[in-house]
Structure 1
């Protein structure tokens, strides 16, 4: 049930965020710690925001990974680092051209969640 939510400022709208989402999903698939059929990612373009003192056209990207509870701290740390590296690679040229803040957080669902998903069937054969 990992969910990836990428928030980005609209002054970065010329970037291909679908490509970033595919890269982030690939990190989770390759880790073997998350069921492929449960991975969901989305990018949300923000139009109302202020960065720093608001006087410049600064940008930011914030990534949140939401996962079900139960994975070790080592797995979560390694996953976080791998996702952050993928995001840095995606934004490498952007960091050269403008002021930009990148952040990533991992959140664990602590309470029971409700879900129904038959996509898993495709991966469990």
Structure 2
């Protein structure tokens, strides 16, 4: 916890995901809600099959899901969401003329009762 999953459309080319993930994890590590920076797990998933509205092209999205253990306050969730958005936007490139992209961030509770984590060495 937290798990950071970035989904994106492949028509948004040359996104600097290494820099984005570094910025996002650094910002989240600075949160008082994160006890151990090693608990931050981030990955990027490409959505090969997608639609944005009714358009056939020139639209894309980046959606970031942050999965955290349930029990955080609404303010803590808003803070997580803002830290992630700021980290992503810090390295967001300009898109070609005519291309529209949407960035969204969602903070989702994970059930504490069913979540299991094992540190393997």
Q: Does the TM-score normalized on the shorter chain lie above 0.5? A: yes
Superposition deviation, residue 83 in structure 1: 1.2
Q: In the alignment, which residue of structure 2 is the partner of 1:73?
A: 74
Q: In the alignment, which residue of structure 1 is the partner of 2:59?
A: 58
1:9 aligns with 2:9: yes
Cα distance in structure 2, aligned partners of 1:29 and 1:81: 13
Tell which deviates more after alignment, 71-80 or 109-118: 109-118
Q: In the alignment, which residue of structure 2 is the partner of 1:30?
A: 30
Structure 2 gap ranges (5+):
none
Superposition deviation, residue 64 in structure 1: 0.2
TM-score for both structures, normalised by structure 2: 0.86
Greater helix percent: which structure?
A: 1
Superposition deviation, residue 82 in structure 1: 1.8
Q: In the alignment, which residue of structure 2 is the partner of 1:122?
A: none
Give the match's secondary structure for 1:12: coil
TM-score for both structures, normalised by structure 1: 0.83
| Structure 2 CA distance for partners of 1:48 and 1:72, relative to 1, 3 Å | same
Q: Counterparts of 1:64-103 in structure 2 under 5 Å? A: 64-91=65-92, 93-94=94-95, 98-103=99-104
CA RMSD of aligned residues (A): 2.1
Quick check: 2:4–2:65 contact (8 Å CA) kept in 1? yes
Count of paired positions: 119
Quick check: 1:58–1:100 contact (8 Å CA) kept in 2? yes
